[in-house]
A and B are shown apart, each in its own frame.
Chain A
Amino acid sequence: MTEPVVPMVKAEGVRKSFGAHRVLRGIDLEVAPGEVTCLIGRSGSGKTTFLRCINHLEKISGGRLSVDGELVGYRQRGDKVYELHDRDIARKRAEIGMVFQRFNLFPHMTALQNVVEAPVRVKKEPRASVVERAAALLERVGLGGRASFYPSQLSGGQQQRVAIARALAMQPKLLLFDEPTSALDPELVGEVLDVMRGLAADGMTMVVVTHEMGFAREVGDNLVFMDGGVIVESGAPREVLSNPTDERLRTFLSKVL
């Protein structure tokens, strides 16, 4: 267990406040490469905020947060820490994929254009090879025949699968999911979870904020229960779900299971 692997995500005492409201009160967490970590907890427990801190959509107010060994949003030289330029923050974000609760596909672009946009414009890859890869990705998420459809012509589940393909097109080293199935009709949840299951099997490092306990139990390597801005309990999903020790987790599980 002591091999010198750099954790993909490492949080040490991460704090975040919105004005006087303290949303995160000291999060310590490590995510190893290739691992799937599921964050669960009531709404308002800070799990989405923590996820957004990982790619610097939110700026942390205290503690230390690094991705793949590099600080998020800052650069350390000696014992001094410097704020990063927007350009460098953008470059780091490009290595982290994110999938949103409300898909956030670009409505003025077709499914294929959504997937192609960032690799061509941000990473400056040649369009022809990106289009080929994008078509293969859409095929992989089961939407090979929908490449020329606009988001408004797709169901929620299909839109979310395009969003996953869009994130994958950047060939990220880490994928963040913010309640990816919460905005979907129940019968469409399965198709998105299937795609995520496939990604986990391929060894993608993922941090997933979710309410899908079945998915967390089956696919997750690590389950983290948050409440009131701190991690209350964490460990192997089966262990945590079958033997919850904390009262708050027991109450939470009695409501969602």
Chain B
Amino acid sequence: MSGAKVDIKVVLLGKAYAGKTSLVERYIHNRFSGDTVPYQNVITIGAAFGAKTVSVDNKNVIIGIWDTAGSERYEAMSRIYYRGAKAAIICYDLSDRSSFDRARFWIGELQKHEEGCQIHLCGTKYDLIAENPELRKIEERETAALAQDVRGKVYETSSKSGKDVALIFTNIASDYLKSLKNTEVEDNKEYMVPLRDASNKRFVCSGCKI
């Protein structure tokens, strides 16, 4: 599935209740309803699609965002959402260890099926951590190491406060514009090939385990 009027296809993946929909809500509509609406009521069914135009360096880029449902039964369908995606935002709840394991699973899936997809690791609900650091279940260095393995970027966001939410999408847009300019990616060339080969198998396995 590739969007007709969309420049970049972005897909959000992650465990149920990780905060994917809230992230999109904050980014597209600049609102947050997590405090008022019980989360069971807004659980995503299937997948939701939204688009937003960003301007980077005076150029307009339309980002089409696929906000997928985290529930396990939709897993079989998820491929049609990440097929052809330029970037994937893999969300995990900073206060929920199991959601990080789920993130590893999605990384494995993407590396297996969609190699050209840039991975953005996104820890969510930062406001909770900021309030009470003891809630943090996933250390920054852990995600940094994982991100380096998959040549991805790491963010710790809060959809409640809006922290770093727009940054992810701006980065995705500027990455896209860069790749338009020079079709071959030069920045990461030196360490890109060997690392991927080395890490490929390992992550598939860790994904299978979950």
Q: Do A and B assemble together?
A: no
